[in-house]
Structure 1
Amino acid sequence: MDVAVVTLPAVKMLLVAIMLLGILVEIKTGGMGAGVLLGLVAAAVFWGSQYVEGLVSLYMVAVFFAGILCIGVEMLLPTAGLLAGVGAALLLYSLVLALGGDVSAIGVLLGAALLAAAVFALIVKRLPSSRLWRRLVLKDASTSRRGFVSAPPRESLVGKRGVVRTELRPAGTALIDGRPVDVVSEGAFLPKGTAVRVIAVEGMRVVVRREEETETR
Structure 2
Amino acid sequence: MDFIIDSSMVQSLLLVVIFLSILVEIKTGGTGVGALLGLIAAAVFWGSSYVKGLVSLYQIAIFIVGVIFIIIEILTPTVGLLAGIGVVAIFYSLILAMGGDINAIYMMAISLVIAIIIFAIIIKKLPSSKLWKKIILTNTSSTEQGYVSSVDYSQYLNKEGIVLTELRPSGSVEIDGVPVDVVSEGKFISKGEKVRVVKIEGMRIIVRKIE
Category of TM-score, reference length = shorter chain: 0.5 to 0.7
1:165 maps to what in 2?
none
1:132 maps to what in 2?
131
Structure 1 Cα separation of the partners of residues 7 and 95 of structure 2:
15
Q: Is the 8 A contact 2:15 2:111 kept in 1?
A: yes
Question: How far 1:36 moved relative to its partner?
Answer: 1.7
Unpaired runs of 5+ in structure 2?
A: 141-211
Structure 1 Cα separation of the partners of residues 81 and 45 of structure 2:
27
Q: Is the 8 A contact 1:7 1:50 kept in 2?
A: no
1:116 maps to what in 2?
115
Change in CA separation of 1:12 and 1:80 when aligned onto 2, cut-off 3 Å: same
- Give the counterpart letter for 2:64 in structure 1: F
Unpaired runs of 5+ in structure 1?
A: 142-217
1:98-177 to 2 correspondences below 5 Å? 98-140=97-139
- Secondary structure of 2:77's counterpart equals coil
Question: How far 1:32 moved relative to its partner?
Answer: 1.1
- Give the counterpart letter for 1:52 in structure 2: V
2:88 maps to what in 1?
89
Q: What TM-score do the two structures reach when normalised by structure 1?
A: 0.62
Change in CA separation of 1:66 and 1:132 when aligned onto 2, cut-off 3 Å: same
Structure 1 Cα separation of the partners of residues 127 and 32 of structure 2:
12
Structure 2 Cα separation of the partners of residues 17 and 96 of structure 1:
14
Question: How far 1:39 moved relative to its partner?
Answer: 1.0
Structure 2 Cα separation of the partners of residues 123 and 61 of structure 1:
30
- Secondary structure of 2:34's counterpart equals helix
Structure 1 runs (4+) greater than 4 angstroms displaced: none
Q: Is the 8 A contact 2:133 2:139 kept in 1?
A: no
Q: Deviations over 1:173-202 (max 9, x none)?
A: xxxxxxxxxxxxxxxxxxxxxxxxxxxxxx
Question: How far 1:140 moved relative to its partner?
Answer: 4.0
- Give the counterpart letter for 2:120 in structure 1: A
The root-mean-square deviation of aligned C-alpha atoms, in Å, is 1.5
1:53 aligns with 2:52: yes
Q: What TM-score do the two structures reach when normalised by structure 2?
A: 0.64
1:44 aligns with 2:43: yes
Question: How far 1:10 moved relative to its partner?
Answer: 1.1
Count of residue correspondences:
141
1:67 maps to what in 2?
66
Q: Is the 8 A contact 1:66 1:90 kept in 2?
A: yes
Structure 2 Cα separation of the partners of residues 34 and 13 of structure 1:
21
Question: How far 1:35 moved relative to its partner?
Answer: 2.7
Structure 2 Cα separation of the partners of residues 39 and 136 of structure 1:
21
Structure 1 Cα separation of the partners of residues 4 and 47 of structure 2:
13
Seq. identity, %: 51
Q: Based on CA coordinates, which of the two structures has the bigger radius of gyration?
A: 1
